[in-house]
Amino acid sequence: MQPAAVYELYRKWCTAHGVKADNNINLGKQLKRLGFNKTRSNGKDYWRVDETPAGTEIRSKTFPRVEEIVPDIADAANSAEPLMDRDEKAEEKIAA
């Protein structure tokens, strides 16, 4: 994410939470202290964070596809029939 965009989000968060925002230089120092790194790509600076061991582990796991969990999902999606019965009580609560 570009530094100006990070700083703008930080300022908005500070305003929303009643916190005095630091300047962009101090924010950059704090981001570095927290493990973020500034990198340059195509002539532009970006803040990035390296993947943690937990993130690597999660990314390495395979997750089932919807089709494997609900084998007839494609048939149901292409059907003219509703996917589930109407819940009139729930509709009344939503309308109220």
Q: What is the pLDDT of residues 18-73, one digit of tens each?
A: 999 999 999 999 988 888 889 999 999 998 878 778 778 877 877 766 666 666 66
More confident position, 94 or 43:
43
Q: Residue 71 has what pLDDT?
A: 60
Report the b/e string of 15-38 with b at 16+ CB within 10 A. Answer: eeeeeeeeeeeebbeebeeeebee
Q: The tokens of 19 are what?
A: 């916190």
Q: How many CB atoms lie within 10 A of CB 73?
A: 14
